[in-house]
A and B are shown apart, each in its own frame.
Chain A
């Protein structure tokens, strides 16, 4: 890749130095010179200079003063200060306030100055590259957000229509009219809807914005149980919610976490179990919420326990997407929460969660 030569601006009130600089470096760089700070500023106004070298000792305005004056207006060019005498206070001032990259004593050594300009230019490039990358990422992020929005509308709307038609078929008593075809359509549609919802949950969780709202655990848990238990009326819920203190946290993430865990507790029951039970214990203190969700369902094989939080982990007879617990874990990570699990096969599973109180 060929790049246009580095644009260097050299400001010095001594004409001889300007000439000597030009003579030494004109082959390597595109050089602009100015004999005062004011002249230098004029060059800056007209050209995208990448490296500025300024002499410290100049009438009207010193090199450091010049650098200080352009910190806000021209923050990008990398600065090199050149000075004939060692003045500690000027040096300290330059480093502290002038955003100086290098400090070089006069008379300069050509090789040293050349290396400094080269390094300075690299520093300039990486600064600009980083900014472009950030801009690109912001754009991608923006597009992703719009994509999420369009998934939630365009992709889901027709699917929901299909589910609506299946409901109508049921209401009109036609559900069993064509063998099991309607049932199959329904189960496929529900599965697709479930995937869309989980994908959205995942991306929404991924966004770093977190909201802080006051959480009423009793209300939240009641709503979630209402939402998930309509498919299964047999499960008995025992709630022990002890919330003497207010709890502040991210409402969406909490809903995702509790929603996934509670729906799992309902989903992975034993068909043969007569007393399906889910115990939910929540203790809120000023520092955290301690949540335990226990079921007497199928349980999880010991060798699977470590993997259940990984993306797309599924067991042979598992009806899930392999996303639920992964999303729970991700959401907890964003909230600095912790989760642990204990399970014995055919006895049941307990998930324990600790979430810091942002109050």
Chain B
């Protein structure tokens, strides 16, 4: 699942993920709220939930860190099947430190998304089930 308010970045990053062939399906959300709605609507079906969320930091209304606060409240079962990495162009120390300090964030990926970095996350976290 990609969460990013910028439609162009959503397009670019979906395409990059598609080409990387690491994931079968990409869910695009233009805001944290939209992503949360998706979770509520599909709460009964674990297989509909994404395995990985790539989360932008700077978004209007609900920013990436606020989304994480909501994510924290989700059932442990969801969280175990749905990991989070942040994806941002930020160079701001505050953001970088905050992302690194958050125990739910696997890694802060820098935009532009590099397939090799995505693959590294994939291999470190999903290599058994594929």
Same complex for A and B? Answer yes
Q: Does the CB pair B111–A171 fall under 8 Å? A: no
Counting from the closest, the 5 A-B pairs by CB-CB distance are A164-B112, A160-B89, A164-B12, A160-B111, A152-B91
**Residue of A152, A164, A171, A172 touching B9 (CB-CB under 8 A):** A164
Q: List 12 A-B contacts (CB under 8 A).
A: A152-B91, A153-B89, A153-B92, A157-B9, A157-B111, A159-B89, A160-B112, A161-B8, A161-B12, A161-B112, A164-B16, A200-B91
A161 to B113, CA, bound (A): 9
Chain B 1-36 interface residues, beta-carbon cutoff 8 Å to A: 6, 8-9, 12-13, 15-16, 19
Q: Does the CB pair B58–A164 fall under 8 Å? A: no
A164 to B110, CA, bound (A): 11
**Residue of B8, B13, B15, B112 touching A163 (CB-CB under 8 A):** B112
Q: Does the CB pair A152–B92 fall under 8 Å? A: yes
A163 to B8, CA, bound (A): 12
In the bound complex, residues from chain A placing their C-beta under 8 Å from that of B8 are 158, 161
Of A161, A164, A171, A204, the most chain B CB neighbours within 10 A belong to A164
Q: Does the CB pair A153–B15 fall under 8 Å? A: no
In the bound complex, residues from chain B placing their C-beta under 8 Å from that of A153 are 58, 89-90, 92
Is A239 at the interface (CB under 8 A from chain B)? no
Is A287 at the interface (CB under 8 A from chain B)? no
Give 7 new A-B contacts, CB below 8 A, not counting A153-B58, A159-B89, A252-B93. Answer: A153-B90, A153-B92, A157-B89, A157-B111, A160-B89, A164-B13, A168-B19
> Across the two chains, which residue of chain A brings its CB closest to B13?
A164
Q: Does the CB pair A164–B91 fall under 8 Å? A: no
Q: Does the CB pair B111–A161 fall under 8 Å? A: yes
In the bound complex, residues from chain A placing their C-beta under 8 Å from that of B19 are 168, 171-172
Q: Does the CB pair B92–A164 fall under 8 Å? A: no
Q: Does the CB pair A152–B12 fall under 8 Å? A: no
Q: Does the CB pair B9–A197 fall under 8 Å? A: no
In the bound complex, residues from chain A placing their C-beta under 8 Å from that of B91 are 152, 156, 197, 200
In the bound complex, residues from chain B placing their C-beta under 8 Å from that of A17 are none
Tell me the smallest distance from the CB of B113 to a CB of chain A, in Å. 7
> Across the two chains, which residue of chain B brings its CB closest to A193?
B89
- Total number of A residues with any Cβ neighbor in B under 8 Å: 20
Is A167 at the interface (CB under 8 A from chain B)? yes
**With A160-B112, A161-B6 given, is the CB distance from A167 to B90 under 8 Å?**
no
> Across the two chains, which residue of chain A brings its CB closest to B16?
A168
- Total number of B residues with any Cβ neighbor in A under 8 Å: 19
Tell me the smallest distance from the CB of B24 to a CB of chain A, in Å. 18
Of A156, A157, A172, A197, the most chain B CB neighbours within 10 A belong to A157
A-B interface pairs (CB < 8 A), number: 50
A152 to B113, CA, bound (A): 17
Tell me the smallest distance from the CB of B111 to a CB of chain A, in Å. 4
A160 to B9, CA, bound (A): 9
A200 to B89, CA, bound (A): 13
A32 to B115, CA, bound (A): 78
**Residue of A149, A159, A165, A197 touching B92 (CB-CB under 8 A):** A149
Is B46 at the interface (CB under 8 A from chain A)? no
- Per-position 1/0 for B94-113, Cβ under 8 A of A: 00000000000000000111
In the bound complex, residues from chain B placing their C-beta under 8 Å from that of A158 are 8
Tell me the smallest distance from the CB of A74 to a CB of chain B, in Å. 40
Tell me the smallest distance from the CB of B58 to a CB of chain A, in Å. 5
Is B114 at the interface (CB under 8 A from chain A)? yes
> Across the two chains, which residue of chain B brings its CB closest to A166?
B112
Tell me the smallest distance from the CB of B55 to a CB of chain A, in Å. 15
**With A153-B58, A157-B6 given, is the CB distance from A167 to B16 under 8 Å?**
yes
Tell me the smallest distance from the CB of A149 to a CB of chain B, in Å. 6
Of A152, A163, A200, the most chain B CB neighbours within 10 A belong to A152
Q: Does the CB pair A161–B9 fall under 8 Å? A: yes
In the bound complex, residues from chain B placing their C-beta under 8 Å from that of A156 are 89, 91
In the bound complex, residues from chain B placing their C-beta under 8 Å from that of A171 are 16, 19, 115
Q: Does the CB pair A157–B112 fall under 8 Å? A: no
> Across the two chains, which residue of chain A brings its CB closest to B20?
A171
In the bound complex, residues from chain A placing their C-beta under 8 Å from that of B92 are 149, 152-153
In the bound complex, residues from chain B placing their C-beta under 8 Å from that of A161 are 6, 8-9, 12, 111-112
Q: Does the CB pair A167–B89 fall under 8 Å? A: no
Chain A 156-199 interface residues, beta-carbon cutoff 8 Å to B: 156-161, 163-165, 167-168, 171-172, 197
Tell me the smallest distance from the CB of A340 to a CB of chain B, in Å. 30
